[in-house]
């Protein structure tokens, strides 16, 4: 199992809209991708425009090849991308 | 409940030592602090010197005042600090 951590900055003042959008995107798009195990969204206290999205995937390739190479990625970015203030910082991790 | 996310860079090549140290520090120091609920350590795939430590605290103050203001913080930093390559980036989050 692999953890994707996406560090996201959104445009100021759009928190409520973004939270609705990301919930919708997870429920209708992300969670339908092969190898998706679960997702959590965390909202910054010190940095109110910062969100951390953590997604568990069965394998690294389920994210980097399966999801990113599918039409689901385009659908996902159409839902959440309009709120981004720059590209998210995305890396993958394994539990210690 | 609050999630602390600490983004840590360690000195190159010290992964095995650091992983032993952080496991030891969590078990013997961090987990004894008031309000500590749980911790996870994640190791970067793309950035092998990167670790993300996620700690659940009952309240923000359990971390920022209770833990940081106690001798436990000094003990914790003595265990894990020698491996750091610069100060960690630490912020707090609430679940969306």
Bridge partners for B51 per DSSP? B8, B43
Structure tokens at B6: 């600490």
B46 touches chain A (CB under 8 A): yes
Task: Report the Cα A68 to chain-centroid distance in Å.
Answer: 12
With an 8 Å Cβ cutoff, are B95 and A40 in contact? yes
Structure tokens at A28: 């209708």
CA-nearest of B89, B50, B91 to A94 is B50
pLDDT on residue A5: 98
Question: Model ipTM?
Answer: 0.94
DSSP A87: -
Across the range A65-72, mean pLDDT stands at 96
Across the range A21-48, mean pLDDT stands at 98
Best mutation target among B9, B10, B27, B45 (most A Cβ atoms within 10 Å) is B45
Distance CA B42, CA A93 (A): 6
Domains of chain A with CATH codes: 2-93 (3.30.70.100)
Structure tokens at B43: 């190791």
List the single residue in B44, B93, B96 with the smallest CB-CB distance to A93: B44
Residue A48: strand, helix, or coil:
coil
pLDDT on residue B92: 98
Distance CA A12, CA B95 (A): 19
For residue A89, the chain B residue with the least C-alpha distance is B46
pLDDT on residue B34: 97
Q: Are B74 and B80 spatial neighbours (Cβ–Cβ below 8 Å)? A: no
> How many other CB atoms are found less than 10 A from the CB of residue B94?
12
Q: What are phi and psi of B93, to 5 degrees?
A: -140, 155
User: Which CA distances in Å does B59 have to A21, A41, B36, B74, B94?
Assistant: 28, 18, 9, 20, 10
pLDDT > 70 in chain B, percent? 100
pLDDT along chain B (96 residues), means of 10: 98 98 98 98 98 98 97 98 97 98
């Amino acid at each position: 199992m692999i953890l994707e951590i996406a560090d996201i900055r959104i445009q100021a003042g759009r928190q409520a809209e973004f939270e609705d959008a990301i919930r919708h995107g997870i429920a209708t798009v992300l969670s339908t991708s092969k190898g998706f195990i679960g997702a959590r969204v965390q909202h910054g206290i010190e940095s109110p425009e910062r969100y951390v999205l953590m997604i568990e995937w069965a394998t690294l390739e389920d994210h980097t090849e399966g999801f990113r190479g599918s039409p689901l990625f385009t659908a996902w970015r159409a839902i959440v991308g309009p709120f981004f203030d720059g590209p998210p910082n995305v890396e993958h991790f394994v539990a210690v």
